[in-house]
Amino acid sequence: MATDFKSIPVIDVAPLFAKCDDPKMVQDPGVREVVKQLDQACREAGFFYAIYWRILEGHILMLVSRYALDMNVRYGCLKKHKRLNQNRGYQRIGENITKGVPDMDEAIDCYKELKQGMYGALGKPMEGCNQWPHYPPNFKELMEKYISLCTEVSRKIMRGIALALGGSPDEFEGERGGDAFWVMRLIGYPGASTANGKCTSENDIGCGAHTDYGLLTLVNQDENITALQVRNQAGEWISAPPIPGTFVCNIGDMLKILSNGLYESTLHRVINKSPTYRVCVAFFYEPNYDAAVEPLEVCVRKSSGIRKFENAVYGEHLVSKVQTNFVT
């Protein structure tokens, strides 16, 4: 349950990362301290900063993402092939909608590639190949390196979160998340009053209030521009300013269900009031595409035995979201 938090906690996850595949991790005092902090942050805000200094790949990716978005606007390298490949590739400013209102952002969307037929009818809408930006030429390699880094970071944090919920460290592995699906968006938000005619007001919403869909999101945000806002229980919008050497982490809808609502997928939005174009690379760590998601026993027990959510299938949730995100 979210509270009236006024700021977003910062957690140094290094002690967890050092021991997180050690069979005795549960007894380690450093791990226990991180787990305690994760539990508090997830209960109170559903958002936290994870200090992670080895984010050099992240910085490089931010730079090339800015470049790729720019090249794409100028030369239109990436296209969305409406019939063939609806969901992957470039989307223009205003194409993505949140609760019926166009978002003032542009983005390159990538999804884990599914083998054809692997998930039958469930997988069909998400089949297709990513359209990697053509410039710079090694972009695909950079992205792949970054994706594996984020996958590892997320897996480790999820082991901590599993303990925080009172489960075993591998609660989110195996059939739930051992073959985690992922989504990555390279997003650009025009500055307020830019002359491109698309975004001229300080009140334009870069991305409307929403929750994320999966387990855990890692946001790598542009330095120096505060634009991400998180809603607390009182309905106030709390800023999440960029902090160098951190990822902003937040809980998605699937973890809300798994935790039986002990952790919430908190509403957030983006408003870029600065005159400068803002870039963000968001990595979404999700359950297995076909995972049947239901509240964990241990979490139901902690909630006086009451199950608060129906079962969900992750892939169905994703498809229902993606299909309502665009005007057809």
Ligand X SMILES: O=C(O)CCC(=O)C(=O)O
Does 283 sit near ligand HRG (CB under 6 A)? Answer: no
Q: Coil, helix or strand for 32?
A: helix
| The amino acid at 261 | G
**At closest approach, how far in Å is the CB of 325 from ligand HRG?**
4
Q: CA-CA distance, 50 to 241, in Å (whole number)? A: 13
Closest to 66 in 3D by CA, of 108, 101, 36: 108
The interface region with ligand HRG, picked from 52-60, 131-139, 208-216, 237-245 by CB under 6 A, is 208-216
**At closest approach, how far in Å is the CB of 95 from ligand HRG?**
10
- Residue/partner pairs of 220-223 with CB below 8 Å, 24 or more apart: 220/55, 220/58, 220/61, 220/62, 220/247, 220/280, 220/281, 220/282, 220/283, 221/248, 221/278, 221/280, 222/62, 222/278, 222/279, 222/280
Does 210 sit near ligand HRG (CB under 6 A)? Answer: yes
Q: Coil, helix or strand for 109?
A: strand
Reported residue count of the chain is 328
Q: CA-CA distance, 206 to 185, in Å (whole number)? A: 14
Does 282 sit near ligand X (CB under 6 A)? Answer: yes
Does 187 sit near ligand X (CB under 6 A)? Answer: yes
**At closest approach, how far in Å is the CB of 85 from ligand HRG?**
17
Number of chain positions touching Fe ion (CB under 5 A): 1
Does 212 sit near Fe ion (CB under 5 A)? Answer: yes
Q: Toward Fe ion, which CB reaches closer, 127 or 212?
A: 212
The residues binding ligand HRG (CB under 6 A) are 96-98, 103, 183, 207, 210, 212-213, 284, 321, 325
The residues binding Fe ion (CB under 5 A) are 212
The residues binding ligand X (CB under 6 A) are 185, 187, 207, 212, 219, 221, 228, 268, 270, 280, 282
